[in-house]
Structure 1
Amino acid sequence: MLIDGEHYPAVIKSALDVLERQYNYHVAGAVFIGGIEKISGTDSFAELGCPIIREPDPLKGIMAAIDQFNPEMVVDLSDEPVVGYEKRLFFASHVLTRGLPYIGADFWFYPPAFQDVLDKPSLGVIGTGKRVGKTAVSGYICRYLDEAGFKPGVVAMGRGGPPAPEMIAGSKIDITPEYLLDLARAGKHA
């Protein structure tokens, strides 16, 4: 559980009681991630009844807590100004790499579910934004692997693409601006 000093310890304790009583959660430990406005000293969180990790680098504290307490999920009770959305998503991304859900008052992030579908090594290039360079990075990686003697393949899928994957042998065609325009004119995803 992530806590801050911008909430009175009694308020945090009340939230813990609700988590335990209504949701049957057991709090194994907490990480103090900053803020001192509403705490009076180092023993301010004694009433929480769980071990508290205090680490100058909040991310190190979070990762240490995961290693030490082996939780089933990470519950974030912090708020702005201690943790804004950018820092929260930064923490969430690291927690998700450990295979744990990251939840808060108005969000719930699940770790991605990976499936073993290939017999060969694979690499995922993912992104949720448009025009962030996913295709360019994938192309660069393929050229690099090709020059190293491998025979890479790319599976590109997205909301704007064709309904079914299309096989394109990139090494056997000349991809020019005119080629791409012809694809677009034919209604294909170029």
Structure 2
Amino acid sequence: MHPNVHLLDHSIIARAMTVLRDRHTSAVEFRAHVRTIARGLAFQATQRLPLVPVSVETPLATTAGAQLRDSVIAAPILRAGLGMLDGFLDVVPDAVTGFIGMKRDEETLEPYEYYRNVSDITNAHLFLLDPMLATGGSARAAMRTLPIERAGSCSLLSIIAAPEGIEATLSEFPNLQIHVAAVDERLNEIGYIVPGLGDAGDRLCGTL
């Protein structure tokens, strides 16, 4: 596996992935387990963020503590990325939230941006949230709209990925860190991840 790809290896995450893959899982259950996996990915992706020392008063004494040195920005790619946002904020509640709306042009089949509200990312640690890294088209299009070279770091958090999407994304953005709960076999002829879990956006929103 590419050194920039970080697989979340955890028993609870494996169980949650099984629930997500099950075609009979309800939208309520699906949302809950997406949130669980998003928490795990957030813990893993933020593990080495730079800290600054601070002192803190306990009920008994003064001791050493730490705070994050830089700002953290969580930017879900709409709409499916919204399902991961609460899980990320459970871990980093003071993260700045941004939003990137991507839609596919039905004639060219290429994604294009229809909405963006992201704070200045200069020196910040940017975390893009997109549950499915299939072809990588949406994630790459989103990153092209941002001055990611100014960020302190840029990471993509996905629940499931296909090898084709990983390769295409890292070929264009070689400094990107990808945190993912599962890497599946392949894409099928219509660009779905196999064995996959279906369309994450539809299953999150109950719009199947």
TM-score scaled by length of structure 1 = 0.34
Larger RCO of the pair (alpha carbons < 8 Å, separation 6+): 2
Larger helix share, 1 or 2: 1
Larger Rg: 1
